Structure 1
């Protein structure tokens, strides 16, 4: 929350103290993503005496994101807070059937960027994540495990990305890297259905790669921010 207050203070300072004109925009965005998680080590001895351990690496499935943003531009610099809903999906190819990993989150990226050459900009900034519960098919609550996988519900990541802008459209390629590694966790999986019993979810640092398309729904184009809401020909809407 301190970072959010800091960004708001920065926006107010920039708006009041920078002499050159600012441009403001509200927009919507949507896109696709892939998610990186940890390996699962199946304890072979929990299935049959003498059976060797087996390691399963996660497969990346396509998730999606939808959201909105507010953008303040100072010539080649910009500040862009966003609010997004993100769906994340993976799976493991266990011996008897595939086990899906799904979760979702609301995220608040706070981005600062610079246009290096028209129309290409680069940016970076923190990402505040608010996760829903993770679902991994086949995991059971037993005397060995309390279910799971478990994850910190509120985390902070780091975003870096590149954006290509054309008029009111933006194409955005972004990489989010977690700032904290998870802890290794014991899972008890339904052996009859999936062919894995006791298994260790290895520690990992989560990361997400996303590609999105956004459009400025309202834009001032150098006018006052109040012009976004006018009904006459001076409004900041793209479709006059």
Structure 2
């Protein structure tokens, strides 16, 4: 699936750059806040009759960096990206704080419109490929196979606003997962964290992201003597030597 998505993005770049009035390749980086689900501690798992206790996650700052291609058609634009994101949350358990960590590669395909100079709005899907997601203190026992066990490939939907100042810009984005996770039983080391069996509640992951970007290369395709407009024609090879 990863190869299919990358091939799709490559085709979009080839097709749309040939018709663009202007295009650019750039780099971006920034910070993010990631929202995940509550954890319900089963009090009876470590003391008979003890009440359950609910722990909500604290949002910790994560980071992101990557690159983008943008093809502009008047006030409209197409902006595929490839971004690495690292996110972190924490739970204030009775005896010790437990950290939730995850990272992923995201390939968003965004469509936008300049509402007035220098402000633009955009939206579009993002295709995610997760690395391992970990929560401190989770163990493999007869009650649980570890975890959190989350889908490694997901799709989200994003919308946002960007402000451009020449080659530089600022981008504020909200991202919502398209699918809710399944509730999961976790077995946590009680002697360290004061929580034993606990339910990770189902949730739709979402993220608030702030980044800055810079166009490393920006040009008008006419300056390339029709390279992109003829790239897929069989009668020219566009080799440097003929």
Q: Which TM-score applies when normalising by structure 2?
A: 0.87
The Cα of 1:13 is off from its aligned counterpart by 4.5
User: Which stretches in structure 2 are left out of the alignment for 5+ residues?
Assistant: 228-242
2:81 corresponds in structure 1 to: 82
Closer/same/farther in 2, CA of residues 226 and 109 from structure 1, 3 Å limit: farther
Deviations 1:131-167 (CA, angstroms, capped at 9, x unpaired): 0111100000000000001110000100101000010
1:104 corresponds in structure 2 to: 103
2:181 corresponds in structure 1 to: 182
Closer/same/farther in 2, CA of residues 78 and 186 from structure 1, 3 Å limit: same
Deviations 1:30-65 (CA, angstroms, capped at 9, x unpaired): 000000000000000001111000000000000000
How many residue pairs get matched? 225
CA distance in 2, matches of 1:209, 1:221: 33
Is residue 24–residue 225 contact of structure 1 (8 Å, CA) maintained in 2?
Answer: no
1:235 corresponds in structure 2 to: none
The Cα of 1:75 is off from its aligned counterpart by 1.4
The Cα of 1:224 is off from its aligned counterpart by 3.4
User: Which stretches in structure 1 are left out of the alignment for 5+ residues?
Assistant: 229-240
2:230 corresponds in structure 1 to: none
Closer/same/farther in 2, CA of residues 25 and 226 from structure 1, 3 Å limit: farther
CA distance in 2, matches of 1:147, 1:35: 22
CA distance in 1, matches of 2:168, 2:14: 26
2:156 corresponds in structure 1 to: 157
Deviation above 2 Å: which 4+ runs of structure 1?
Answer: 1-16, 221-228
1:50 corresponds in structure 2 to: 49
Deviations 1:218-240 (CA, angstroms, capped at 9, x unpaired): 11056435799xxxxxxxxxxxx
CA distance in 1, matches of 2:225, 2:100: 45
Q: Which TM-score applies when normalising by structure 1?
A: 0.88
**Partner-residue secondary structure (3-state), 1:180:** coil
Closer/same/farther in 2, CA of residues 208 and 93 from structure 1, 3 Å limit: same
2:169 corresponds in structure 1 to: 170
